[in-house]
Amino acid sequence: MKFELILTPSHSFTHLKSMVEMAELLVSRDTNLSITIIIIPFIAGRDYIAGLSSASNSRLRYIVISDEDEPISELTSFETHVENQVPKVKDAVGKLVEAYSTLPDSPRVVGLVLDIFSTSMLDVAKQFGLPPYIYCTPCAGILGVVSHIQMLYDENKYDVCESDYENSDAVLNVPSLSRPYPVKCIPDFFASKATLPMVVNLPRKVKEMKGILINTVAELEPYVLKYLSSGDTPVYPIGPLSHLNQVGDSKDEKQSDILRWLDDQPPSSVLFLCFGSKGGFSEEQAREIAVALERSGCRFLWSLRRASPNIFREHPSDFTNLEEVLPEGFFERTKDIGRVIGWAPQVAVLAKPAIGGFINQSGWYSFLESLWFGIPTAVWPLYAEQKFNTFMMVEEIGLAVEIKKYWRENHLMGTSKVTVTAEEIETSIKRLMDKDGDVRKKVKEMSKKCHLALMEGGSSWIAMGKFIEDVTKSYRFKE
C-alpha cells in the first residue's frame, strides 16, 4: 500500500527549507511514502520556490499558492497572513484527496504535518479527517516554556506585561527547564497584549496533534525532551535539519572570492559574523562592532546589513556606502585580516576550516549549523524567539557565549533597542576565539553526537523511522 503525507510550511522561508529537507529524508526512508508540500506566499525566496516547483516528481510534489489577491508588500501580520491562506489550502487539499479517490493505485493520505507557525491549518485536517502532526522548527525548549506560560495564563497567574518585564528580577520555574528562567529574558511577544493570546493558544493546538516532530537532537535537549515525552503525545526529535546539504561552490563571483579568501586563512583563525535573513543593524551599532573587531585583532568575515524598517514588508538591505558608516580608515587598517560583505552563503562559509568562531542572531538553525561543523558561537538575539534561544544555548545547554545576557529586542524591526558597546563585543570575541575555552571543547563533543544522530542506528534516525511507522501503521494493519 502507498501512503502520502501533506506538509504545510508557515510564512518563514527558513522554515520552508527545513520542511523540504525533512520531506526529502522521509521519502528516502520509505519507498511507499510520498509527500506533497503546499507552499503559501512568501516575502522572499521566489527563485528557490520556482526551483522546487520544477523539481516535483511522483514522490515529492509542490503546490504553490498564488499571492495575486494578497500582495506580500501589504502584509502587516504573519499570523493574519497564514490564516488568510486556510481556505486556499483547504481547496488544494480537497482537490488532491478527490483526485486520489478516483485514480487507481493512488496513495492513501495518512496525515497533515503543520509548521509550528501554521497551526491555523488544523481546521484543514479536521475538515478532511486527516491526523494532524506538528513540526517544531525551533528548539524543543520553546514548547515547554510556552506550555507553562499557557498554564499560568489560564490560572490568572501570568502577570508579565510589556511595561515592566524588561526590568523584572522575577523568574519562572518552568518544569521542562533545569534552571530558573528569568522573566527579563522572555521574548517581547510573550508580554505584548497584542501577541500573548497567540502564544497561549499554541499549546492548546499542540494538544490536538497526533505527534510532535522537533528539529533537535535527543542528546542536545535531554531534559526538555524527557519532560515533553512524559505526556500522551509522541515526540520525535529528528534533527539536525538545517540546510546542511548546501555546502559547495557559489556561482556568484563575489561569494566565490570570499570562499577562496577563506581557503587562504589559517585553520580556526577567522571570526564569522552573520545575523540571518532578517537581522540588521543601525549605523551606530555597526560602528561599535567595527571598533570591537579592530581592537580584537582577529581575522574576520562580517556579513553586515542595514536593519529593515519593517520585516513584515522587506528584509534588511546592504548599506549604500560603508565607507561613510564605519570608522574612518577602518577598511585600510583591516584590509589584511578582514572582509565586510552583504549577504553570505552561511553554510558554505561555516564549512571552511578557517572559521574558528561564529557570532549570530541566536537563531536555532544557525546554532545547529555551527554545531554540525564544530564551531563555537556567540549569540546576539534580535527578534522572534531568539532571546529564549540565547537562554537555552548559554544557560540550559551551555554551548554558546552571550554578547550580552539580557536584551531588549524588537521582533518587528529585526534589531535591538539598545546599542551594545565595542568593549562588550570585544570581550565576547576574546572568549569565543579562545582556543582552549570550555565552550569550544563542549561544541566539538556535541558535534560528533549530532553527526551520529543522523546515521543509521542514531537517535534521530530511529525517531524518524518510528514516526513513519506510527503514521502508517493503522493502514499497514488493514493491508
CATH number at residue 393: 3.40.50.2000
Q: Which residue has the higher pLDDT, 13 or 408?
A: 13
Q: Which of 31-45, 229-243, 247-261, 435-449 has the lowest mean pLDDT?
A: 247-261
pLDDT class of 384 with cuts at 50, 70, 90 = confident
Whether the pLDDT of residue 73 is over 60: the answer is no
For 223, how many CA atoms within 13 A lie in the half-sphere containing its CB? Answer: 12
Residues 178 and 271 occupy one common structural domain: no
CA 330 to chain centre: 33
Q: Are 239 and 142 in contact (CB under 8 A)?
A: no
Within a domain: residue 342? Answer: yes
> By percentage, how much of the chain surpasses pLDDT 70?
90
Give the helix/strand (H/E) hosting 379: strand 377-379
The span from the CA of 1 to the CA of 32, in Å, is 7
pTM score: 0.92
**DSSP secondary structure string for all residues of 173-219:** --TTSSS-EEGGGS-GGGT-TTTHHHHHHHHHHHTT-SEEEESS-TT
* Residue 91, all three cell numbers: 481547496
Q: In a 3-state reduction of DSSP, which class is residue 134?
A: strand
pLDDT number for residue 84: 86
Q: Which of 89, 86, 84, 64 is nearest to 74 (CA)?
A: 84
Q: How many residues does the chain have?
A: 479
Name the strand (E) or helix (H) holding 242.
Answer: none
Cell 553526537, located at residue: 449
Place of cell 522521509: 26
Q: Which domain holds residue 302?
A: 253-435
Q: Are residues 218 and 80 in the same domain?
A: yes
pLDDT tens figures, 249-280: 556 777 889 999 999 999 999 999 999 888 89
pLDDT score of 143 more than 70: yes
Question: Cα(280)–Cα(239) distance, rounded to whole angstroms?
Answer: 28
Residue 244: band (very low, low, confident or very high) from pLDDT cuts 50, 70, 90: low
User: How far apart are the C-alpha atoms of 474 and 221, rounded to whole Å?
Assistant: 31
Rg (CA), the chain: 22
Higher pLDDT, 48 or 231: 231
278/425 same-domain check:
yes
Amino acid at residue number 27: V
- Which pLDDT does position 90 carry in this prediction? 96
Q: Contact 338/363 with Cβ under 8 angstroms? A: no
In a shared domain, residues 260 and 361: yes
> Is residue 466 included in any domain, yes or no?
yes
In a domain, 448, yes or no: no
Q: Residue 55 has what pLDDT?
A: 82
3-state secondary structure of 4: strand
Say whether both 266 and 224 belong to one domain. no
On whether residue 446 sits in a domain, the answer given is no
Is the model's pLDDT at 348 over the cut of 50? yes
Residues 6+ apart with CB under 8 A from 261: 301, 339
Comparing CA positions, the residue from 75, 152, 472, 473 lying closest to residue 311 is: 75
pLDDT mean across residues, the chain: 89
CB 295 within 8 A of CB 333: no
**Which segments of 294-353 are extended strands (E)?**
299-303, 338-341
> 162 and 97 share a domain?
yes
Q: Is residue 216 part of a domain?
A: yes
Using DSSP's 3-state secondary structure scheme, residue 68 falls into coil
**Are 341 and 464 found together in one domain?**
no
Residues 179 and 65 in one domain: yes
Is 41 found in the same domain as 129?
Answer: yes
Residues 462 and 371 in one domain: no
pLDDT band at 116 (very low <50, low <70, confident <90, very high): very high
User: What does DSSP say about strands 108-115 and 211-214: parallel, antiparallel, or unpaired?
Assistant: unpaired
Question: What pLDDT was estimated at residue 71?
Answer: 56
User: Which one, of 354, 387, 360, 230, lies nearest residue 302 by Cα?
Assistant: 360
**Which SS3 state, helix, strand or coil, does residue 257 take?**
helix
CA dihedral sign, ordered 243, 249, 253, 256: positive
Q: Looking at the domain assignment, is residue 445 inside a domain?
A: no
Mean pLDDT for the stretch of residues 26-44? 89
Q: Which residues contact 373 (CB under 8 A, 6 or more apart)?
A: 350, 351, 355, 447
Same domain, yes or no, for 228 and 286?
Answer: no
List, in order, residues 6 or more apart from 469 with CB less than 8 Å away: none
Lowest mean pLDDT across 23-37, 78-92, 365-379: 78-92
> Distance between the two ends of the chain, CA-based, in angstroms?
7
Q: Which three cell numbers stand for residue 80?
A: 493574519
Q: Does 64 lie in the same domain as 46? A: yes
C-alpha cell at 308: 529593515
**Residue 307 resides in a domain:** yes
Mean pLDDT of 389-405: 91
For the sheet with 3-8, list strands across it: 60-64, 33-39, 3-8, 108-115, 132-136, 211-214, 235-237
* pLDDT of the residue at 405: 60
Backbone angles phi, psi at 360, to 5 degrees: -140, 180
How deeply is 47 buried, as exposed, middle or buried, from its count of CB atoms within 10 A (0-12, 13-18, 19+)?
Answer: exposed
- List, in sequence order, every residue forming a beta bridge with 35; answer none if it has no partner: 5, 60
Total count of domains within the chain: 2
Average pLDDT over residues 168-178: 93
pLDDT at 411 over 50: no
User: Considering only 35-44, 192-201, 284-293, which range has the smallest mean pLDDT?
Assistant: 35-44
The pLDDT of 107-119, averaged and rounded, is 94
